[in-house]
Structure formats: C-alpha cells, structure tokens
Structure 1
Amino acid sequence: MREETLRMERVTYRENGVTQLENFSMSIRAGEILGLMPVNRHGISALIKLLRQNLPLHYGYVYYHEKMVNHWRFSDSGTNRISIIQNKSCLAEGLTVADNIFVLRPGFRKRLMQPKILKQQLQPFLMDIDMDIDADAYIEELSPFKRFVVELLKAVVAGNYLVVLDDISSFISDVELQKLHRIIRHYADQGMSFLYVAPHYEEVKRICDRTAVMQNGQIIKYFMFSEHIPDTYMYRWTKGFDRRVSEQISKKTVHPDTEEPAFRAENLCYGEVKDLSFAVAPGECLVLQDLDNRILPDLLAVLSGGKRADLGKMWICSEEFKQKPDRRIAVIQEVPVQTMLFPNLSYLDNLCFTLDHRFHDVWLRNKIKKSLRQEYAGLLGEEVFDLRVEELSHKQKYDLIYMRILVQNPKVVFCVQPFKRAEVAIRIHVWELLERFLDKGIGVVILAVNLADSLALADRLIRVGRGRRMEEYGREDFGNLPVDAPWLYLYQSREKQD
C-alpha cells in the first residue's frame, strides 16, 4: 500500500468568524494526481493557506508525509514543504533561472555562488523532462509556460512531496498544457504528489487519477479515473451553461460579409503580434485564442491606444483608428474585480468613470449622475449605490464593471479571459452580461489562452500562433476542433442531429 503524502481529517477552519472549510477530509497518496473540482471558489484560498502554513484550526487534524503537522488543540504556524503554483508566479524577478531553483531554496548556505556550476547542476533536471531553458535567463524574460516549469523544477530540487496546481489552464495554452501534463505524470511516476485544482471535468479527467468535487468548503464526492460519472450528476452544476450553449447553437446567427465591421485590423505588427488580421461585426462574438500566450499584452497595448503599431491599420466601423485612447473601444481586463475598480471612489463615480466622452460635464453636474442612478437602480439594485466598493459582493462588482462599459456604449469590447477564476454561478452571470453587449449590437472579442468557457458564447474562433492567424472556425465547425474543451460535446451532438 502506498504511503500518504497528505491527509486532512474533519478539518474546520474559520477566518474572521466565517467558516471557510467545514468537516473537510481529503487524502493524497504518494505518486497520485488528485483532481479538485470546485463548484464554487468558497474555501479554495483557505485550503491553499492551510497547506502552506499550519494556521490555527477550529477542529481537525492535518498530516503531511505521514507526520501530524497541525491539529485543533495546537498550531505552531510553521510552514510545510509544499509548493503552490498559481497564475501569480512566486519566482523572484531580477534573478536567473538557476538562482531561483538552487540559491533561493531552503538549506542553501554557500556564500560564493558559481554560475557555471549551478548551470551544470540544472542540465540533468532539464534533460530528464526534455526541456530547453537557459539557466542564465532572467525570470521576467520567460514565457508563462517556462516560468511554470521552473517553479516545478524548484519544487523537485527542494524535495517537496506535494505540488498544488491552481487553475493553471487559465494562463497556458492547450498545446502547452499537454506538455505540462506529460511532465507532471513523469514526476508522479517518481513518487511526487499533485493536487490539481481545475473548474472543468474535461480537464481533470485527462491527467488525474481521482477527482474530488468541492462545494462550500466541503468535499461532497470522489470519482475514480476509471469510474463513469453519470451525466445527471454533472448536470446539477452545468445545466445553466448547457441550456445556454444549446440556445446559442440554435440561434445560428449569421453576420454577412457585406456588413460593415464594428472593428477591423489588417496586417497588424507590434512586438509579438506578427501580421495579424481580423474583424468583428456588430453584435458578433469572436474568440481570439493565443496558442502561445504571447500576443495579449502587446495587442492590448495597441488597442488601448498606449502604443502605436509598427505596421498595419485598424478601423472602427468605417473610420480609421488613430491609435490613441478612444472610448469607442473598451477593454475588460482579466479578473476585472481586482484591476478595474477604484475603492477610493463611490459606486456611482465608478459607474460614470468612462462616461465623460458622452457628457463632458459629468463630474461637474450631479444631475447627470442622479439621472443615471435612477435609470439603473432597477437593474443594479438601489442599495448598491450607498455601498463602498469593498462591501460589494463578487456578483455586484462584476455588475458594476460591465454596466460601466455598457454606459460607455463602445462599438467593440475586448474581454481578456472573462471567465478566469470565476465560479460556476459567476461564469453564467458573466455570460449574461456579455449577451447584453451583443444584444445592443456591440461587437465582442474574447481574448483567450485556453478556450474553457469562451467557446460557449462564440460565433467564430480564430486561433493565433506565433503572433499570426493560423486557422478560423465558424460555430458550425466547433465540433471539429482538435481540443477537449468544455461544452464541445454539445456542438458535436448538434452536428450528428443535423
């Protein structure tokens, strides 16, 4: 029988009086890849904190490498040798790959560092997983995929028994994800354990030995890799999306080529963007998938007017885009509740933030803001206007951001991975918010690395590799995509019916 790397028994953990984990039990064996599917994100952050550090428990026991490290009677607040890999890298910028892997690891006591020796020590690890990464490269020069591999190598060199992977598919492409799965399986075969947190069963079934379903801070069900999961069981959480995707497929909206695009780019070149052309019609949803996770920062810099393209032209409707800030183009950043709200401003001021191009005296005349409050109180709720931004719920924050864009009334909206790190209920709500743009005739371009839920709303998909347009799929062709994306089976079953 394999030894256990981690075991949590009946753990109840509270933060500021709120129960984050309740009667939580989970075990991971040596060499196992355990999938964790959260129906909502409640308790995920708390779980990761507890794995990293032995914080005081209300009740329960935690064992790591078959040794009790935390229990409800006493917590020493010590740290565990567990690596956490998330979207935000834990690597130190300004240092090389070799420095991060060897010098910053616990137990390194040499006063004089010899880069040549560190480089030689790294080569066997890279050869073992068939990776080519320059040991002298600085962390900020690496792609997200290579940074991920470096973090994984750092865990291997440090001798950590468990690695937690939190929603990694949201920041690396499908092709890179396959490479990572191969590396993860390689280390699992050598005895390392992994906790693989992902929102979709299509993802965890590709790599995990078992899958645990988590809801409201509790594990409610385990599935074995070889076990068939009843469709009705998964339908409990996905039925909202299933129904909406089916409705979207049935619409079969046609945007004729003769229709004037809401936005068009031709032969665009800037940074990692190489000769990229695309167009989106009014009321159309286009997904641009960045297969290499390279072009998004450079493309957004040009679209927002912060940088001028080296080559190529863009048009908003029939007018050439002057490549300077233009309110006819809106950008919704990834995880916008963290990047697009201003806590020092009131709710109403946040809502009006991009309205000054329509009403130049919006900040001088309270009459305009008062009118706006009356108009949207029925949709947003009267109570939210008197709340501070920090007091808003997750759903209310998304409402505020997307309604701000709707009030701005742009011709096209560029959404950067709009479903990233959003729980099931929020994903469905984001869908509804994006549909408002489409119903109003606003073109929507979803910028995605991994398709995930983006495909569910799309009319077209353009896949971009090495900064260039690689291939295009219409909605009727989604079933032929060479990926295992969520909701893809609905397009495939539709094709069989036709």
Structure 2
Amino acid sequence: MGEVILTMKGIDKSFPGVHALDHVDLEIRKGEVLALMGENGAGKSTLMKVLTGIYKKDSGTITYEGKEVEFANPRDAQAAGVVIVHQELNMMNHLTVAQNIFIGREIMNGKLINDAKMNQEAAKLFDRLNIKIDPTEKMGNLTVGRQQMCEIAKAISHDAKVIIFDEPSAALTEAEIEELFKIIRDLRDKGMGIVYISHRMDEIKVITDRVTVMRDGCYVGTLITKECTKDDIINMMVGRVIYEDPKTESNVPKNAPVVLKVENLNAGKMVQNVSFELHKGEILGFSGLMGAGRTETARALFGADPKESGKIYINGKEVDIKNPMDAVKHGIGYLSEDRKRYGIVVGKSVAENSTMATMDQFMSGAFINKKKERGIAQKYVDSLKTKTPSVDQLVVNLSGGNQQKVVIAKWLVRNCDILIFDEPTRGIDVGAKSEIYHLMNELVAAGKSIIMISSEMTEILRMSDRIIVMCEGRVTGEIGIEEATQERIMHAATLRK
C-alpha cells in the first residue's frame, strides 16, 4: 500500500433534525482505489461534500499532504488537487468537449478564448487516459459513457492527486464500465488516491484495494478487498444478513385473472408490436439490454408517450389511455427510473409528495386539509419505514432509497392496482433494496400487480414470477421463473427478430 495522502479524523456534521456524520474517520492512500460503502443515508455523500468544501464540518480535522486543511469551496479543493466526478454529469451539451473541460478557466489569447490551444490541451489529456475522443465534438453528440470520460479528463486537468468517483457506472454499458476500470487502474498505477463510491458489490470486488464502510453516519470499519467476502461487506453495511437467492417458482395461482392485456402496442422504433399479459398478484419482470425498449413500452402504456397503435385491456375491458391522467384513472401507477425528474418534487415535503396524485381527496373548499394530508403521509412513513425526521421534511434532504419510498407512497395513497416499477432499486444500497423487495412482495400478496423493469439480472431472477425479454423494441422471449436462467434471458435479449 502507498503512503497516506489524505486523512479525515473525527468528522462531525449535523443538520436540523439529522446528525449526518458522527465522528467519522477516513484514510486515502496514494496508488490505491478505496471503496466507500454504506446504505443510502449512511453519510457517504455528506462526508465527500465536507471534504470538497460544499459543507463546512462542525468538528474534526482534515489532513492533506501532511498539512491540516479546510477547503472553503469545491474550487479551492480542485486547486489543491482534490476533485470529485459526480454521478449526475454537469455538462453543457451545446459546447465542444474541450470547451466543457476548460469551462470557467478558459485559455485566453488576449481578450479572446483560444479554442485551438484548448483543443490541443484536451487532446493531451485524452492521450494520457488512452482514450480517443475528438476535442472539437459537441458534448451532446457523445454517449453517457463518453461524457463520463470527458468528466474524468476534466478532473485530471486540475492536476488531481485525489479523485472521488460517485456512482460512476450507474448509467454505463458493460463495455463502457470496462473502459472506465482501465482508466481507474491507470490512474491508480500513476500514484493517485481514488475513492470509489458504488452500490454494485461485484464492481467493488473487481476494482478496489480496500473497503471503508459507513452506517447511520458512523465509521464502521475498513477491510482489505481481496481478504473479505461480499457478505462481510453487506453485514457491516446493514448489520444483518441479506439473502439474494433467485426465485425458483411463481407465487401466482394458475387461475389468477388477467388484469392487464396489451396487444400489438406500437410507439416509434423502440416499441414494435409489443404484446403481453399481467395477472393479479404477479410480478412480471421486463429484461433486456440497454436500448431494448422496456422503458419506452412502459411510458407508452402509461400515456407518457403517444402510442401509434395497439390495444390495452384492463380487467377485460378495452381502455383508451392518451395521457398519464387517463392511466391513473384506470388504476395504473408509474414509478419512473428517473424519480427526481418524474417521480417527486424535491422542493416539496414528504406529505405533499405523498398526496400529489390524490390532491382532490385532501381539499376543504379551496384549501388543502393539512392535518388530513400529514395523517395519511405519516401512515405510509410508518408502514414503509421511511427514514425522515417528519412528514414536513423536504424530499430533497432524503436519501435515494427513502425518496423511492415516498414515490411508492404516492401511488399507494392513490390505491393503484397496477404498478410499473422502472429500475426500482437503481442507486439504492443493499439494505434499502431488501426493503423495497419485501414491500413489492407484500403488495402482490395483497392483490396488486407489478410490472418490474430492471437491468440487474439478479433482481429479475429474484423477484419475477414471469419474465418478458425485449430486444430492439420487440418482445423476443417469455420465460417462466421455473425455467429462467441468466443464459436463457441473455439469449433472448440478443435475439433480433
């Protein structure tokens, strides 16, 4: 192991009603990849925000290159060589790659921006990373994976000595993840200290040297990656054993009625002649590779995108769904994969978000009955075990897993019989995943029916009663869970019709 480059000792940070960090320790070494793990709400992001000057710590010390420091803001941290690559990329799509890399610190030629020099310097950065990207290309023309590489190049341009990767692979393909890992290994071998935040346990075992675990705002411990198991890490994260065995048989009775029938649904190139049935009390998994058309199918079914043709039947009756309001009236709720954009209003409270789809039920004349609203919101906070100081807390202050629970509460308050879960556990830790899985099983046991879209094979095999596989906008397979294997699903997911 390399020498210690940065130490955080006894870091404490509180917000109103929340003790976010409770005397947390962290040690980053040169020439290593350190995993920082913990459930949503464990304090990982808060700790990194304290490090990079976004938040001011209440107490504790940060020692960097042998000197005690406290960065006033992210720009100060960057100037010192401590850089964070955020999960949500902050790029200007209308600018070139080079312009994005040097935005806010453009290379000037007198009073004019020297684009030629910036292109030249960006090309040097890409050479250093062994990746081929044209510095003059518009950022909006690149894939998410390529944009991620540009964000890394931007970090390197600050003469970074410590780089923090926050969920860097969340939106990447397998090929792009491999490319990312090559870059990270190369940076590590050049002596940089790297912090890697991820919920993907398999990645942690592949790319990291040590694992530091946090729980409930506290430091739990640090393990050598090659000397520990996946279960060791999970136990430290959640304080209990979580089992992820695949489902071996369907829980749906053979005579369960069909609650939703879709016939030859068409909506652009990504939804072509899609047909399937959903039974009462069933979890119907939708699997496929990126770009298979699963989300597009869900959006067309929900009325979020216009359908060109096809028929939709609910409980045997044909329905005309032209918009999401029609879908909700027919008892369909949609939990989008992008919950911050489509599922919740982050600037509103837990109570306001919980009743958003049923506002008419909480009106007293021209005013909202706040007491009634808080009462129903509290009911679902309790039943879903949502971690929040109160139902008046703004949703923006909750962890990802708890934000997801608020979205679920919204549709439960509406009493929807058909729920579409699109990537229900994306960006959620193993403990919150287990709670979401338990909740989904409770919902179908109570007679609800669920369509679950997931890119995680283990999730599909663990939760589904039956699996619909898509490839390039078409259904290419339907597999009962009794016969389902990763190989069969992948075969269907690559079967072009």
Common fold: TM-score over 0.5: yes
**Superposition pairs for residues 129-208 of structure 1, below 5 Å?**
131=131, 133-208=133-208
- Pair 1:52–1:312, CA change in 2 (3 A): farther
Pairwise CA distance, 1:438: 1.6
- Asked if the contact 1:351–1:404 (Cα under 8 Å) also holds between the matched residues in 2, the reply is yes
Does residue 408 of structure 2 align to residue 416 of structure 1? no
SS in 1 for 2:154: helix
Pairwise CA distance, 1:213: 1.4
Q: 2:279 aligns with which of 254, 270, 281?
A: 281
- Pair 1:233–1:131, CA change in 2 (3 A): closer
The runs of 5 or more residues in structure 2 that have no matched partner are 490-497
Pairwise CA distance, 1:415: 1.9
- Asked if the contact 2:249–2:481 (Cα under 8 Å) also holds between the matched residues in 1, the reply is no
Write the letter of the residue equivalent to 1:163: I
Distance 1:371 1:56 in 2: 38
Distance 2:20 2:375 in 1: 37
Pairwise CA distance, 1:195: 0.8
- Pair 1:127–1:454, CA change in 2 (3 A): farther
Higher deviation after alignment, 30-39 or 426-435 = 426-435
Distance 2:378 2:9 in 1: 47
Write the letter of the residue equivalent to 2:357: T
Pairwise CA distance, 1:233: 6.7
Does residue 306 of structure 2 align to residue 308 of structure 1? yes
* Count of residues paired in the alignment: 471
Partner of 2:495: none
Write the letter of the residue equivalent to 2:201: Y
Distance 1:377 1:53 in 2: 35
Higher deviation after alignment, 76-85 or 147-156 = 76-85
SS in 1 for 2:220: strand
Q: 2:462 aligns with which of 449, 456, 461?
A: 456
Does residue 447 of structure 2 align to residue 441 of structure 1? yes
Higher deviation after alignment, 336-345 or 188-197 = 336-345
Partner of 1:330: 333
Q: 1:354 aligns with which of 353, 357, 375?
A: 357
Partner of 2:30: 30
- Pair 1:14–1:415, CA change in 2 (3 A): same
Distance 1:95 1:179 in 2: 24
Partner of 2:69: 70
Pairwise CA distance, 1:424: 4.6
Pairwise CA distance, 1:264: 2.6
Partner of 1:108: 107
Higher deviation after alignment, 467-476 or 320-329 = 467-476
1:234-266: CA deviation from partner (whole Å, max 9, x where unpaired):
4465687745x55x7265335769963624363
- Pair 1:343–1:31, CA change in 2 (3 A): closer
Partner of 1:291: 289
1:142-181: CA deviation from partner (whole Å, max 9, x where unpaired):
3322221211121123322222122234333444323322
TM normalised by structure 1 equals 0.75
- Asked if the contact 1:87–1:168 (Cα under 8 Å) also holds between the matched residues in 2, the reply is yes
Partner of 1:91: 91
Distance 1:441 1:403 in 2: 17
SS in 1 for 2:307: coil
Distance 2:13 2:371 in 1: 44
Distance 1:355 1:423 in 2: 30
Distance 2:376 2:60 in 1: 51
- Asked if the contact 1:272–1:298 (Cα under 8 Å) also holds between the matched residues in 2, the reply is yes
SS in 1 for 2:94: coil
Does residue 9 of structure 2 align to residue 6 of structure 1? no
- Pair 1:241–1:469, CA change in 2 (3 A): farther
- Asked if the contact 1:105–1:158 (Cα under 8 Å) also holds between the matched residues in 2, the reply is no
Distance 1:158 1:349 in 2: 42
Partner of 1:222: 222
- Pair 1:324–1:57, CA change in 2 (3 A): closer
- Asked if the contact 1:288–1:445 (Cα under 8 Å) also holds between the matched residues in 2, the reply is yes
Write the letter of the residue equivalent to 1:291: L
- Asked if the contact 1:37–1:201 (Cα under 8 Å) also holds between the matched residues in 2, the reply is no
Partner of 2:258: 260
Pairwise CA distance, 1:109: 3.6
Partner of 1:80: 77
Write the letter of the residue equivalent to 1:324: N
Write the letter of the residue equivalent to 2:453: L
SS in 1 for 2:227: coil
SS in 2 for 1:222: strand
Pairwise CA distance, 1:35: 0.9
Partner of 2:46: 46
- Asked if the contact 2:95–2:139 (Cα under 8 Å) also holds between the matched residues in 1, the reply is yes
- Pair 1:368–1:265, CA change in 2 (3 A): farther
Distance 2:270 2:28 in 1: 41
Share of identical aligned residues, percent?
Answer: 21
Distance 1:133 1:311 in 2: 41
Q: 1:388 aligns with which of 366, 387, 392?
A: 392
Write the letter of the residue equivalent to 1:333: S
- Pair 1:354–1:25, CA change in 2 (3 A): closer
- Asked if the contact 1:119–1:135 (Cα under 8 Å) also holds between the matched residues in 2, the reply is yes
- Asked if the contact 1:286–1:461 (Cα under 8 Å) also holds between the matched residues in 2, the reply is yes
Pairwise CA distance, 1:349: 6.7
- Asked if the contact 2:39–2:432 (Cα under 8 Å) also holds between the matched residues in 1, the reply is no
- Pair 1:163–1:289, CA change in 2 (3 A): farther
- Pair 1:287–1:155, CA change in 2 (3 A): farther
- Pair 1:267–1:163, CA change in 2 (3 A): farther
**Superposition pairs for residues 453-492 of structure 1, below 5 Å?**
453=459, 455-462=461-468, 464=470, 466-467=472-473, 474-476=480-482, 480=486
TM normalised by structure 2 equals 0.76
**Superposition pairs for residues 370-389 of structure 1, below 5 Å?**
387-388=391-392
Pairwise CA distance, 1:8: 2.1
SS in 1 for 2:50: helix
1:205-256: CA deviation from partner (whole Å, max 9, x where unpaired):
121111111123333222213214384674465687745x55x726533576
Higher deviation after alignment, 203-212 or 81-90 = 81-90
